[in-house]
Amino acid sequence: MHKDVSSSPEGPAGDATPDADAIPAGLLDYLNRELGDEVGVRRLSAGHSNLTYVVTGSSGAQWIMRRPPFGRLQAGAHDVMREYRVLDALSAAQVRVPRVTLASTDAEIFGAPFYLMERQEGEVIRDVSPEWFVGPARRELVLDLAVALAEIHNADPTRLVEAKLGRESGYLARQLKTWGAQWESIKELPTGRDLEDHTAITGWLTQNYPGDRPAAVVHGDYKLDNVLVDAETARITAVLDWEMATVGDPLADLGYLLYMTPEPGGEVAMAELTGAVTAQEGCPSHVEIAEAYREARTGDQSYWTPEDLIYYQVLGGWKLATLLEVSYQRHLAGTTDDPFFAELDEGVPRLLSVARSLMPTTG
């Protein structure tokens, strides 16, 4: 099974209309010329964000192609060229990323910018455990999630800063401002919701703002179903879905990973999103995940404790709920027919409830 790298919940997704399956002759001509092969293209069907296609050459070589969804999009969302630039900037780092092959901003070719990357072998685990995910494999894979994240944070962020893909300070403050404003905007829609948990979390995050930590490359949506896994070794072969990557506080990634990775016996907010398979017996605890991450980190780090990570877990759930509320409002407006978004009627409040439950009762 290969990863449909459009599975990130980042922002409101466009519709997978019949046009998304149509492959223009001009695109085939362009790919044949640039790749030096006779190729076929088909769309992968899963996912709620950017559209993803598999490109297969007559030689047997395969690539993954990414482009924005069709239809009207939120400003700044679905920037596949940003994702391409991040992957290109990380190509020389010791990070498990696919190698990008080519990119084009010429909308005459495929109606929007797009890029190609090598197709990696591996499978995705989301809400159903594969047969091999038993015994030691459970622990090994989840701990490797922590190690692969540390490898990302060990990479020098300078190239991303120089490419204007992130700034070395102010990340958390911008997150609070951006997503807080996003929520206020959608709350004012005719179908908008004023959810008390969101208000409470926003206040707590603002009051307990921890300040800046040494900056690192931040993935922005790092979780189990955004990696490819080798079933034979239970190791991660590639980290995908880089459209939200930037430079910022690395603990934001770690906290989000913990929020999206329930502990054995822990609470699962939405099984499709929050890695219900990791709540099974034999998977490591949050403390063990955090320690595996710490041991794999190198370079400049500020001291932190497991208790410090609570802030970042709450932040991750709050941000995800905000992103998905945008998609839910698009569902109510009839501008998307993705059935997953209908589930957000109860899903968004559930995500917020779990995030709020992590907050200390005082402070």
Contacts of 195 (CB under 8 A, 6+ apart): 348, 349, 352
Q: Please indicate, yes or no, if residue 8 is contained in any of the structural domains.
A: no
Q: Report long-range pairs for 97-103 (Cβ below 8 Å, ≥24 apart).
A: 97/238, 97/239, 97/242, 98/64, 98/238, 98/240, 101/35, 101/63, 102/34, 102/35
Residue 10 above 60 pLDDT?
A: no
Taking CA atoms, 356 is separated from 11, 282, 360, in Å, by 22, 27, 9
CA distance 309 to 259: 10
Residue pointed to by tokens 């908008």: 192
Q: How confident is the model at residue 14 (pLDDT cuts 50, 70, 90)?
A: very low
Percent of the chain at pLDDT > 90 equals 76
Note the pLDDT of residue 307. Answer: 93
Per-residue DSSP letter, 274: T
- Domain closes at, from 62, 91, 118: 118
Phi, psi for residue 21 in degrees, rounded to 5: -90, -15
Same domain, 53 and 171: no
**Residue numbers of the domain that contains 89:** 18-118
- On whether residue 362 sits in a domain, the answer given is no
Do 219 and 266 belong to one domain? yes
4, pLDDT greater than 50: no
For helices 286-296 and 136-154, angle between their N-to-C axes, nearest 10 degrees: 40
Compute φ and ψ for 288, nearest 5 degrees. Answer: -70, -40
pLDDT at 144: 98
Is 326 a residue whose pLDDT tops 80?
yes
Please state the φ and ψ torsions of residue 85, each to the nearest 5 degrees: -65, -35
Using only C-alpha atoms, what is the Rg of the chain?
20
Among residues 63, 61, 2, the alpha carbon closest in space to that of 27 is found at: 63
Question: Tell me: the pLDDT tens digits for 256-282?
Answer: 999 999 999 888 888 888 778 999 999
193-215 average pLDDT score = 96
Residue 291 in domain: yes
Task: Specify the DSSP element, H or E, that contains 218.
Answer: strand 216-218
**Do residues 306 and 229 share a domain?**
yes
How far lies 90's CA from each of 79, 81, 139, 228, 315, in Å? 17, 14, 28, 17, 26
The pLDDT value given to residue 3: 38
- CATH code at position 205: 3.90.1200.10
- At 274 the pLDDT is 75
Quickly state the pLDDT bin for 236 (edges 50, 70, 90). Answer: very high
- 330-345 pLDDT, tens digit per residue, is 899 998 778 889 999 9
Q: What's residue 15's pLDDT? A: 43
Q: Yes or no: say if 44 and 7 are a contact pair by the CB < 8 Å rule.
A: no
Last residue of a domain, one of 64, 91, 118: 118
> For 217-232, what is the mean pLDDT?
96
Q: What pLDDT is attached to residue 46?
A: 56
Determine, yes or no, domain membership for 91: yes
Q: Is there a contact between 315 and 253 (Cβ–Cβ < 8 Å)?
A: no
DSSP class per residue in 142-195: HHHHHHHHHHHHHS-THHHHHTTS--SS-HHHHHHHHHHHHHHHHHTSTT----
pLDDT of 308 above 80: yes
Average pLDDT for residues 59-86, to the nearest whole number? Answer: 81
Give the span between the Cα atoms of 143 and 237, in whole angstroms. 14
For 135-189, the pLDDT digits (tens) are 999 999 999 999 999 999 999 999 999 999 999 999 999 999 999 999 999 999 9
Quickly count: other Cβ atoms within 10 Å of residue 146's Cβ.
Answer: 24
Reduce the secondary structure of 33-96 to three states and give it as a string: HHHCCCEEEEECCCCCCCEEEEEEECCCCEEEEEECCECCCCCCCCCHHHHHHHHHHCCCCCCC
Positive or negative torsion for Cα 335, 355, 176, 207: positive
Confidence of residue 1 (pLDDT cuts 50, 70, 90): very low
Query: Does residue 281 belong to any structural domain of this protein?
Result: yes
Q: Residue 76 has what pLDDT?
A: 55
In a domain, 305, yes or no: yes
Does residue 107 sit in the same domain as residue 202? Answer: no
Residue 8 has pLDDT above 70, yes or no: no
Average pLDDT, the chain: 89
Identify whether residues 147 and 272 lie together within a single domain. Answer: yes
- Is 197 found in the same domain as 105? no
pLDDT for the residue numbered 362: 65
Angle 20-45-62 (CA atoms, 0-180°, nearest 5)?
90
Say if residue 262 is in the same domain as residue 333: yes
Tell whether the model's pLDDT for residue 6 goes beyond 60.
no
Residue 3 in domain:
no
Domain final residue pick, 90, 118, 146: 118
Three-class SS state of 23: coil
- Regarding whether 67 and 163 lie in a shared domain, the answer is no
Q: How many domains does the chain have?
A: 2
- Model confidence at 361, in pLDDT bands (50, 70, 90)? confident
What pLDDT, on the 0 to 100 scale, is given for residue 20?
Answer: 64
Both 196 and 249 in one domain: the answer is yes
Going 7 to 121 to 229 to 83, the CA torsion angle's sign is negative
